[in-house]
Amino acid sequence: MKMKVIAFVLLASVIVTVGAVISVMGQFTMLNSSTTVPKQLTNSAVVATAVTLIGNSAPQTANAGTVYVGYGISTDALQPIAVASGQIVNLRLDEGRANFVLSNIWFDVSVANDGLTILYDQVK
């Protein structure tokens, strides 16, 4: 008796889902009426991959003085980054950090009611 050998190959497809970071650009302006009390950019936990600060008190309106910015520093006169009137400053992430949390950014003003226009790439 002859036996037939039947060979077959089972093909299995594997679907791999890679988590993608979806980001949305946003913009807002924040003013500080006090020259002695730093202010948070926002009290919301907005997470961003990129942040641009512009020394404007309103879009297309430059500040009268300098604004000082710090990350996680809420004490008066300790913000180390100076943003001159109309100047654009791009914040860069330290190696190993993936995102900024905008509520950790504080700013101090040299002239009351100056502020920052903030452009950011929010992680969604």
The CATH code of the domain that includes 45 is: 2.60.120.770
- Considering the domain boundaries, does residue 8 fall inside one? no
Say what percent of the chain tops pLDDT 90.
Answer: 73
The two structure tokens encoding residue 78? 């300790």
Each residue's pLDDT tens digit, 37-90 = 999 999 998 999 999 999 999 999 999 999 999 999 999 999 999 999 999 999
- Considering the domain boundaries, does residue 80 fall inside one? yes
> Residue 54: which domain range?
23-123
For residue 107, give Cα distances in angstroms to 31, 41, 53, 71, 123: 9, 7, 11, 9, 22
Average per-residue pLDDT in the chain?
87
Decide: 89 and 120 in contact? Cβ < 8 Å: no
What's the pLDDT band for 5 if we cut at 50, 70, 90? low
The residue among 67, 69, 70, 25 whose CA lies nearest residue 46 is 25
- The pLDDT, as a whole number, for residue 96 is 82
Q: How far apart are CA 9 and CA 15, in angstroms?
A: 19
What is the number of domains present in the chain? 1
The mean pLDDT value for 23-49 works out to 95
| Secondary-structure breakdown of the chain: helix, strand, coil percentages, each rounded to the nearest 5 | 0, 45, 55
- The pLDDT, as a whole number, for residue 116 is 98
Q: How far apart are CA 48 and CA 116, in angstroms?
A: 16
Q: How far apart are CA 48 and CA 71, in angstroms?
A: 14
- The pLDDT, as a whole number, for residue 22 is 78
- Considering the domain boundaries, does residue 11 fall inside one? no
Say what percent of the chain tops pLDDT 70.
Answer: 83
Rounded to a whole number of angstroms, the distance between the first and last alpha carbons of the chain is 68
Decide: 80 and 68 in contact? Cβ < 8 Å: yes
pLDDT at 20 over 70: no
Q: pTM (2 decimals)?
A: 0.80
- The pLDDT, as a whole number, for residue 21 is 64
